[in-house]
Amino acid sequence: MNIEQLLHEYNRGDRNFSAINLNGADLSTHTLTGIDLSRTDLSNANLADANLTRANLANANLVNADLRGADLSGATLAGASFVGAFLQGANFVGCNLTGADMRAADLEGADLRGANLTQADVAGANFRQVNLSSACLDGVDLESFNLQETNLPQSSPYRNALFGQS
């Protein structure tokens, strides 16, 4: 399926585009609220400044994708692969990122307030100036990262270690 077909069908009301190949697609700045792109190959895709609120991207391949400034608030991203993705300034408020693979992703300035990152792999990811307040970080290993200027949940053991609280 090409981008023009997807956008045409989306504008007609179809929301189910799961398991299609959109490798390298340019969907930047498009509004795709509530779209189902679960299990879709979006590797190397340009989704910068796209509106993907409440989208289903569960188990999607977003390796090396550009999501800078994208709005993914309320999206389902469980099991998605963001390895090496550009996520600077993206809005992940209230997202389900359970088991997501975010290794080496650049999340600088991203907003992950209230996001569920349970068991997410964030090895080598950039968390500079990320807002993680009210986020669930169960099973996430953040110990090797520079978390300065990162807003961590009040009850986080990482916050406690960084700021000498017990």
Q: Of 128, 129, 135, 126, whose CA–CA distance to 153 is shortest?
A: 135
Average pLDDT, the chain: 90
| pLDDT, position 142 | 74
| pLDDT for the residue numbered 141 | 85
Burial of 4 (0-12, 13-18, 19+ CB in 10 A): exposed
> Lowest-pLDDT range, 74-78, 79-83, 147-151?
147-151
Query: Where residue 154 falls among pLDDT bands split at 50, 70, 90?
Result: low
pLDDT at 162 over 50: no
Q: What is the pLDDT of residue 165?
A: 40
> Do 130 and 151 contact (CB within 8 A), yes or no?
yes
